[in-house]
Amino acid sequence: MARTRLAISLVLVSTLLLLNTEAKSVDPYKVLGVSRDAKQREIQKAFHKLSLKYHPDKNKNKDAQEKFSEINNAYEILSDETKRKNYDLYGDEKGQPGFGGPGGNGGYSYSSNGGQGGGFSFGGPGGWQNMGGGGGSKSFSFSFGGPSANSFDFGMDDIFSMFGGGSKGKDQFGGFGSSSKAESGSKSGRVATIKTITSQVYKKEIIDKGMTWLVLSYLPSQRGTQYHESTIEEVAESLQGAIKVGRINCETESSLCKQLGIVPRRAPRLFVYSYTSSGKATLAEYTEELVAKKVKSFCQEHLPRFSKRIDLNTFDVSAVNSQKTPKVMLLSTKKDAPVIWRVLSGLYNGRFVFYNTEVHDTSDPKIKKLGVDAFPAIVGWLSNGEKQVLKTGITVKNLKSAVQELGKLLEGFEKKNKKISSSSQSGQAQSESVESIPLLTRPNFDSICGENIPVCIIGAFRSAKVKEQLQSILSKVSQKSLSRRQASATGSQDTVSYSLLDAAKQSSFLSSLDKSGFKTSDNLLIAYKPRRGKFATFKGDMTMEEVEKFVAAVLNGDIQFTKTRQKPQVK
């Protein structure tokens, strides 16, 4: 019986040795053709190159499928920090000591402890060794990872339980039978460019943030996910700063995939999350050959286009200044908006109005007028119309650093704009209220004092001081309810219009009302009824209270009007 058990144990140990030999023959470093000190980027490039070569869709050789699986398995180990470390230490990516390790001196030994050191030793420097001796109790000794590694001794009964056949097996010896959890490993060592997208990440980091994303949707059961990930990692590296990349597991995030309209298929799918010129976010699927160069071009095509292309020959700076949002213009020799500017226009959409133009000659008068002496250059306009040259002769080290540097430049300009807007808020409000009373001129006469206007109140002045006084008073009076009422024929409408008249320049207008032309009056308030050709005047103290009384009396019919000498006109 003892001989039978010994024979069985030797067969099992021989099997283990055979498995170990086969496992050691599949070295992930050799499979990918990289050195043991290779960096992640080297491993990634090697994997991508070999994947392209042996992908079953391209390579129809019989052994291509097997080679492709081998490449994926090797990359699974070396792209994961934990698995790679385990393999380097033990020859096994699962964190379980391998039988001898990758080139180590560990092995197995069998001894008969009742005699004089009898037994066998396997896998050590000398291979099989007959230890001699004769018998009492029998046991095996396993050593892992070289001469200095720990050893585990166990009896004959234990050699069967190590495969899950007894209660001592899995827990006592680290679970050589393996569990699905142990096999899955950790992804922490993968090149950290791909973000795992959950519903929370989507809401906080993606939606309405202005950044373009390259998104991989997949199911855990699908093959080829690693190949897709390797491709988008390569694209992400070449477009750092312009795009971000992420993966959505449509099994665990089924509601998010449904929300985005992503329906899982046989293979992983690739999308670009970007923004249209209207500001709406869209998902565009990439359906061509999975080659990094083509995916990169696809991403560039879908970068934001919020920057308006303009021609300096027809560009109206005054129109730019009429808007309250700060404006920035890129002047470059490019025929289209550069990638950097398109990225910035997405990230800062709504905070700036973006323009870009093609230029070549710094001696051009239009360029000189802008104050630019080198290209590329960025010119900005604050909300108060003030122009500033933000940067000229821009140099770019790489896309990521350029986006960061120019982003800080824009943010500084934005802060300055907010400071100016805040400090001038009260003054600006007062200015706007004053400017609401227009100066009466020939172009605007019909709209202010034409026959469609029941009554127009005109403040005539002969000095700048009186003009300022009338502007302030009429502006406030015009906002009072007493000066407004329903005009039944035209619906809700002002019955009174307000304007100013330069008496020194428009003497003929005053003469058409009265022969004297009111030449002795420095300030004068006129109520004119265009339809009836009548007018009334006020020459008293120009105070808020007195002017209000005059306007109220006009509206209530308590003022006597006089016929004009002729129809008033302005020059």
Tens of pLDDT along 85-114? 888 877 777 665 544 444 443 333 333 344
Question: Which stretches within 35-124 are classed as H helix?
Answer: 40-54, 64-78, 81-90
Same-domain check for residues 150 and 229: no
What is the average pLDDT value for the chain, to the nearest integer? 77
Least confident of 90-94, 294-298, 404-408, 440-444: 90-94
Identify any residues that bridge with 107 across adjacent strands, giving them in sequence order: 143
Cα–Cα distance measured from residue 383 to residue 289, given in angstroms and rounded to the nearest whole number: 48
- How many other CB atoms are there within 10 angstroms of residue 442's CB atom? 10
User: Containing H/E element for 510?
Assistant: helix 507-511
Q: Distances in Å between the alpha carbon of 348 and those of 307, 326, 525?
A: 11, 11, 50
Task: Write the pLDDT tens digit of every residue in 110-137.
Answer: 333 444 444 434 344 333 333 444 444 3
Q: What is the CATH number of the domain that holds 257?
A: 3.40.30.10
Q: Which of 252, 282, 301 lies at the terminal end of a domain, its last residue?
A: 301
User: Containing H/E element for 354?
Assistant: strand 353-358
Cα–Cα distance measured from residue 169 to residue 231, given in angstroms and rounded to the nearest whole number: 42
For residue 330, which amino acid is it?
A: L
* Cα dihedral: 356, 361, 362, 366 (round 10): -60
436 backbone dihedrals φ, ψ, rounded to 5°: -75, -15
Same-domain check for residues 15 and 140: yes
pLDDT of 68:
85
Task: Write the pLDDT tens digit of every residue in 267-293.
Answer: 999 999 999 877 889 999 999 999 999
Same-domain check for residues 295 and 312: no
Task: Write the pLDDT tens digit of every residue in 140-159.
Answer: 443 333 333 333 343 333 33
What pTM value is reported for the model?
0.51
Half-sphere exposure of 234 (CA within 13 A, CB side): 22
Q: Which of 301, 331, 357 lies at the terminal end of a domain, its last residue?
A: 301
Burial of 318 per CB tally in 10 Å (0-12, 13-18, 19+): exposed
- How many other CB atoms are there within 10 angstroms of residue 411's CB atom? 12
pLDDT of 2:
54
Tell me whether residue 569 is in a domain.
Answer: no
Cα–Cα distance measured from residue 481 to residue 477, given in angstroms and rounded to the nearest whole number: 9
Tell me whether residue 187 is in a domain.
Answer: no
Tokens representing residue 473 in the block: 């008073």
Mean pLDDT across 31-48:
87
Task: Look at residue 38 and tell me whether its pLDDT is greater than 60.
Answer: yes
Same-domain check for residues 358 and 416: yes
Same-domain check for residues 55 and 169: yes
Tokens representing residue 27 in the block: 């070295």
Task: Write the pLDDT tens digit of every residue in 537-549.
Answer: 998 888 888 999 8
Task: Look at residue 55 and tell me whether its pLDDT is greater than 50.
Answer: yes
List of residues 6+ apart from 194 with CB closer than 8 A? 216, 229, 232, 233, 236, 245, 246, 247
Least confident of 100-104, 181-185, 297-301, 353-357: 181-185
Cα–Cα distance measured from residue 375 to residue 394, given in angstroms and rounded to the nearest whole number: 7
pLDDT of 385:
83
Mean pLDDT across 511-518:
87
pLDDT of 63:
83
Task: Look at residue 393 and tell me whether its pLDDT is greater than 80.
Answer: yes
The pLDDT-based confidence of 490 (bands split at 50, 70, 90) is very low
Same-domain check for residues 387 and 252: no
pLDDT of 219:
95
User: Containing H/E element for 456?
Assistant: strand 455-461
Percent of the chain beyond pLDDT 70? 72
Compute the residue count for the chain.
Answer: 571
- How many other CB atoms are there within 10 angstroms of residue 435's CB atom? 11
Tell me whether residue 428 is in a domain.
Answer: no
pLDDT of 186:
36
Q: Which of 21, 13, 24 is nearest to 121 (CA)?
A: 13
Q: Which of 81, 85, 73 is nearest to 47 (CA)?
A: 73
Tokens representing residue 431 in the block: 């200015």
Same-domain check for residues 295 and 324: no
Contact 536, 559 (CB under 8 A): yes
pLDDT of 394:
93
Same-domain check for residues 409 and 557: no
Cα–Cα distance measured from residue 377 to residue 334, given in angstroms and rounded to the nearest whole number: 12
Task: Write the pLDDT tens digit of every residue in 164-177.
Answer: 333 333 333 232 23
pLDDT of 54:
85
Burial of 5 per CB tally in 10 Å (0-12, 13-18, 19+): middle
pLDDT of 415:
93
Q: Which of 270, 215, 299, 289 is nearest to 51 (CA)?
A: 289
Same-domain check for residues 35 and 154: yes
Cα–Cα distance measured from residue 296 to residue 212, given in angstroms and rounded to the nearest whole number: 12
Task: Look at residue 139 and tell me whether its pLDDT is greater than 50.
Answer: no
Task: Write the pLDDT tens digit of every residue in 422-459.
Answer: 766 655 555 544 457 899 988 889 888 988 889 999 99
Same-domain check for residues 86 and 133: yes
Tell me whether residue 568 is in a domain.
Answer: no
Least confident of 146-150, 248-252, 552-556: 146-150
Q: Which long-range contacts (CB under 8 A, 24 or more apart) does 320-326 make?
A: 320/353, 320/355, 320/381, 321/381, 321/385, 323/353, 323/383, 324/383, 325/350, 325/351, 325/352, 325/353, 325/383, 326/351, 326/352, 326/353, 326/380, 326/381, 326/382, 326/383, 326/413, 326/414, 326/417
Mean pLDDT across 513-534:
88
pLDDT of 296:
95
Structurally, the chain folds into a number of domains equal to 4
Stronger pLDDT, 211 or 53, i.e. the higher one: 211
Task: Look at residue 469 and tell me whether its pLDDT is greater than 50.
Answer: yes
Tokens representing residue 568 in the block: 């008033």
Q: Which of 423, 445, 477 lies at the terminal end of a domain, its last residue?
A: 423
pLDDT of 373:
94
Percent of the chain beyond pLDDT 90? 39
Pairing of strands 387-392, 455-461: unpaired
pLDDT of 121:
40
Contact 565, 514 (CB under 8 A): yes
Among 27-41, 149-163, 485-499, the range with the most confident prediction by mean pLDDT is 27-41
Same-domain check for residues 328 and 457: no
Contact 242, 235 (CB under 8 A): no
| Domain containing residue 268 | 194-301
